[in-house]
Structure 1
Amino acid sequence: MSFLNVRRYKPQHPMLQEFIKYFWAIKSHDETVVHHKLLPVSNIDIILNFSSPIKYIADDNREIIADKVHFNGIRDKYLMMDQRGPLDIIGISFSSTGVYPFLKIPLSEFKNKTIGLDCLMKDFTSRIEEVRGVDSIKEKIDAIEKELVKMVDTGLIPKKKTKQILQQFYINDDGDRIHEFCRQYGISQRQLERYFSKYIGINPKLYQRLTRFQKTFNTMMQNKDMDFTTLAYENDYYDQNHFIKEFKSFTGATPTGFFHEKKSVKEIMKVT
């Protein structure tokens, strides 16, 4: 199976560095067939597709033809991605709380949905259309950055204390004791849930499950010979069966079956 070459670019504008982890780009001049799984993640990427249409297929076989500029809200199930032809795609990978000041709507509204940005950021999408013919990826990203700076509402940036709470929750190892975490940081569980609904899009418990899955998956990718029992205990699953059940919930396959499929985008992308 051939790799999709993905290049990452750090945001250059100082303001954007607070919100965006990196831009990524895929460009191929040859005919390419993509039919692979997009696994659930705990942050949102905005996709700018300058090539053939992207079709997403949900686990219930529902098909979605995505707009040229779109994003997938945080999901608790995988999507199949189908695209054919020469590829020209730029993605904007936001931090967990980074996209809210641009979309300006609580992110829980978008859970498990594919959203075209025309209805939310029409000025942005119309201006981005103007760079479609630009061949240089770097020039495209420079133009995208200029438009993003115009779109951000700095008044919607989470307060320093809120950001600290959400960041600490991410690294909190005692995942099953949310009430203890809230007591330690002096907030109610209801307030924590409101933070997550607004800035991230899912409840704290699901966020814990997703981040644990991501960490475990990354460990698996780096060491595919690690046995599942060790993997489960090192990542705070109750036991091997709990890990396998959780893995299947997010990927639609057992860990062994998943690696036989070789359909995950993470399996086929090689970052350069």
Structure 2
Amino acid sequence: MIYQRIPPCPALQDFVKEYMLCHFIADPACPPVIQPLPPLPEHGLEFIPKGLATSINQQTGERSKETRYVIFGQPVSRINFIMPDEEYLVIRVIFQPGGLFRLLGGVPLNEFTDKIADAEQILEPDIRFVNDQLLHAKSYSQLIKIIEEFLWNKIRRVKLETHAVDKIGQLLQGTPTRFSLDWLADQACLSPRQLERKFIERLGIGPKLFSRISRFHQAFMHKEMHPQLDWFTVAVNYGYTDFQHLSKDVNQFAGVAPNTLLSEYARSPAKILQLA
């Protein structure tokens, strides 16, 4: 199994934060592999040239089969992926805050919140040819090159500029501590109401929820990487007043108790193979 996070070329860094590449070949004789994915503070585009997983929204129970190319909006619910019993290859393009909004010509990102949409219905049909090229790529570096050529052809025609709200999104991705809405609005030279509206339009959800998802994710990953730390210490280090408030976020975003999520994550394919 290959699991990598890859930075974009300099020309695309204003739009693309990173790529996530996952490639594995399942053993049909083994039970289906289930990959739990609580919400992350990210949205983007996926290319799946080999294999298709089945996704189940844990909150709604909605079940759907992946398509070859999808746009995924900002998630707010946990998704469980049932991996195919065959070769599976996915390249995820994770956009900078505001990047996908600009690429789509100003389509409000709240139309995609907690959803997975067929990218062919939204982008030009030439995305099909990209997937054909990916299917016949000879290396992982060639996969990224093909996708970057496709993105560059789109991005060089983009007319929408970055907005101060995009920088607020980057701030909350990196340091999701307890900023007041008034302070964030002041940094963007907007009123709190304008900030909320622009943030939802460009990132899909409001800044407070986005910050909570980012903080939950960082706190959980820190605990996973440092199992010797107790939950209270982790909670306080990430700005929670106590463990109960962190536990509440874990329950809302992952649907289980904190230690249960740790156990589930430990059984994920990438973790078993020590790739994540």
TM-score by shorter chain over 0.5: yes
- Structure 1, unaligned stretches of length 5 or more? none
Q: Distance in 1 between matches of 2:273 and 2:99?
A: 24
Contact 1:49 1:88 in 2 (8 A): yes
Deviations 1:19-62 (A, max 9, x none): 11222322234537431111201111422111222210011322
- Structure 2, unaligned stretches of length 5 or more? none
Aligned equivalent of 1:158, options 155, 159, 162:
162
Q: Deviation of residue 201 (structure 1)?
A: 0.8
Deviations 1:82-135 (A, max 9, x none): 122112222212223222222231111101111110111133422213212223
Alignment of 1:95-110 (within 5 A): 95-104=96-105, 105-110=107-112
SS of residue in 2 equivalent to 1:155: coil
Moved more, 202-211 or 91-100: 91-100
Counterpart of 2:118 in structure 1 is 116
1:269–1:252 Cα change, 3 Å: farther
SS of residue in 1 equivalent to 2:83: strand
Counterpart of 1:134 in structure 2 is 137
SS of residue in 1 equivalent to 2:259: helix
Counterpart of 1:34 in structure 2 is 33
SS of residue in 2 equivalent to 1:89: strand
1:165–1:240 Cα change, 3 Å: closer
Counterpart of 2:53 in structure 1 is 54
SS of residue in 1 equivalent to 2:178: coil
Q: Deviation of residue 190 (structure 1)?
A: 1.5
Counterpart of 1:230 in structure 2 is 233
Aligned equivalent of 2:20, options 19, 24, 32:
24
Deviations 1:57-91 (A, max 9, x none): 01132211121101321121100001221122222
Q: Deviation of residue 220 (structure 1)?
A: 0.9
Counterpart of 2:94 in structure 1 is 93
Q: Distance in 1 between matches of 2:186 and 2:211?
A: 18
Counterpart of 1:173 in structure 2 is 177
Moved more, 209-218 or 257-266: 257-266
Q: Which has the higher contact order (CA 8 A, sep 6+)?
A: 1
TM (norm. structure 2) is 0.86
1:239–1:9 Cα change, 3 Å: closer
Deviations 1:127-161 (A, max 9, x none): 213212223222222121111111124322323x4
Q: Distance in 1 between matches of 2:253 and 2:176?
A: 21
Counterpart of 1:192 in structure 2 is 195
Structure 1 vs Structure 2 CA RMSD: 2.3
Q: Distance in 2 between matches of 1:178 and 1:22?
A: 28
Q: Deviation of residue 263 (structure 1)?
A: 4.8
Deviations 1:181-206 (A, max 9, x none): 32455310111112211221101110
- Give 4+ residue runs of structure 1 displaced > 6 Å after superposition: none
Counterpart of 1:69 in structure 2 is 69
SS of residue in 2 equivalent to 1:211: helix
Q: Distance in 1 between matches of 2:244 and 2:54?
A: 33
User: Which AA in structure 2 matches 1:113?
Assistant: K
Amino-acid identity (%): 22
TM (norm. structure 1) is 0.87
